[in-house]
Structure 1
Amino acid sequence: MFVLVNLKAYPCDPIEVAEAAATVSDESGVDVGVAPQAADLSAVAETGVETWAQHVSPVEHGSHTGSTLAEAVADAGATGTMINHSENRLKLADIDGSLDAAARPGLETVVCANNPEQIAAAAALGPDAVAVEPPELIGGDVSVATADPEIVEDAVDAAAAVDESVDVYCGAGISTGEDVVAADELGADGVLLASGVAKADDPQAALEDLVEPL
């Protein structure tokens, strides 16, 4: 079970969260990654935690002011990237372009989608993983694994029908160890979460509670 903590643009200390994630990952054996703001990638990577970018743009080297270049992300120490998060949606052609961009420096990829139909379309583009995240549950206190377990099961089936090698993650509202266990039991290979750790007074304690049932 992979746990990816998205720090979004929350006013948290990315190094504190990264150090906590690295400690919890080492002590528990659970794979925990952190996706900070692009400006914090290098500092987060230096903690030794698995570091992911929140986005890479569908561009190559050139005149692309304001874009996030995949090679720059990799040079900063990231090993993977999210693509098409509900808060940064892309057209299908641009998702494909971002996947091509991520492949150049060898970044792992997870493409986010709202429902099983979109999961199938995303899986067909060949990412390493897809993540089902109903937008109405993002940032809330109710996880998709408990609020709508069928959507997780259907997403797992949809991805498998297209490409069984594509992992399926569960996002939106994940904040407790029970949520992680529920996602696992529904067939998910990992979880995406944000506020449950990024907004916690004690990120390490929050992460320990998340992985303890595993």
Structure 2
Amino acid sequence: MFVLVNLKAYPCDPVAVANAAATVADDTDARIAVAPQAAHLSAVAGTGVETWAQHVDGVEHGSHTGSTLAEAVADAGAVGTLINHSERRLRLADVDAGLRAAERAGLETVVCANNPRQVGAATALGPDAVAVEPPELIGTGTPVSQADPDVVEDAVAAAAAVDESVPVLCGAGISTGEDLAAARELGSEGVLLASGVAKADDPEAALRDLVSGV
């Protein structure tokens, strides 16, 4: 199971969370990655944890002030990037452009989608993985695997109908080992979470609980 921790713009210490993730990953052989703000990519990558960007733009080198260049993300130490998170929604053409930019820079990709129909469309664009995240459950602490397990199963089926090689991650409300186990039982090959770790008083304890069943 792949655990991808999105720090969003929460007021947490990204290096402290990254160190916790690196420690838990080393102790448990779990695959854990951290996605900080772009300004913190180098510092997080310096901890040795697998580091992801929260977003890249579908642009090349040039006059693109304010854009997040995939090559710059890779230079900062990231090995992958989220695309089309519910809080950073893109048009289909922009998702495709972001994927091509990430591919050009050698970044692994996870495209987020709200529902199984969008998962199918995202899978057709050729990402390394897709994540299903009903936006109404994000940050609620209520995991989609409990609130609406059919969404996860249908998302897995939708992705498989397009390309069986593209795994599905489960997001929205994930915070405990029980949540991760439920996501796995529904066919997910990983989880995407944020507040369950970024807002935890003890991120290392939160991560240990999360991967306890792996």
**TM over 0.5, shorter chain:** yes
Match of residue 205 from structure 1 = 205
Match of residue 173 from structure 1 = 173
Amino acid at match of 1:14: P
Offset, 1:147: 0.6
Matched, 1:129 2:129: yes
Once residues 196 and 53 of structure 1 are traced to their aligned partners in structure 2, the CA distance between those partners, rounded to angstroms, is: 19
Amino acid at match of 2:131: A
Matched, 1:87 2:93: no
Once residues 209 and 117 of structure 2 are traced to their aligned partners in structure 1, the CA distance between those partners, rounded to angstroms, is: 32
Match of residue 96 from structure 2 = 96
Once residues 21 and 141 of structure 1 are traced to their aligned partners in structure 2, the CA distance between those partners, rounded to angstroms, is: 20
Once residues 136 and 102 of structure 1 are traced to their aligned partners in structure 2, the CA distance between those partners, rounded to angstroms, is: 28
Amino acid at match of 2:133: E
Relative to the length of structure 1, the TM-score reads: 0.99
Relative to the length of structure 2, the TM-score reads: 0.99
Matched, 1:29 2:38: no
Give identity over the alignment, percent.
77
Offset, 1:141: 1.3
4+ residue runs over 4 A deviation:
none
Cα distance per residue 1:25-70 (max 9 Å; x no partner): 0101110000000000000001000000000001000000000000
Once residues 59 and 151 of structure 1 are traced to their aligned partners in structure 2, the CA distance between those partners, rounded to angstroms, is: 33
For 1:30-179, list aligned pairs within 5 A. Answer: 30-179=30-179
Once residues 37 and 60 of structure 2 are traced to their aligned partners in structure 1, the CA distance between those partners, rounded to angstroms, is: 20
Amino acid at match of 1:116: P
Matched residue SS, 2:183: helix
Matched residue SS, 1:10: coil
Aligned residue pairs, count: 214
Matched residue SS, 1:52: strand
Once residues 13 and 97 of structure 2 are traced to their aligned partners in structure 1, the CA distance between those partners, rounded to angstroms, is: 32
Unaligned runs of 5+ in 1: none
Matched residue SS, 2:136: helix
Cα distance per residue 1:132-174 (max 9 Å; x no partner): 0000000101000111000000000000000011110000000
Match of residue 194 from structure 1 = 194
Unaligned runs of 5+ in 2: none
Amino acid at match of 2:151: I
Once residues 90 and 165 of structure 1 are traced to their aligned partners in structure 2, the CA distance between those partners, rounded to angstroms, is: 24
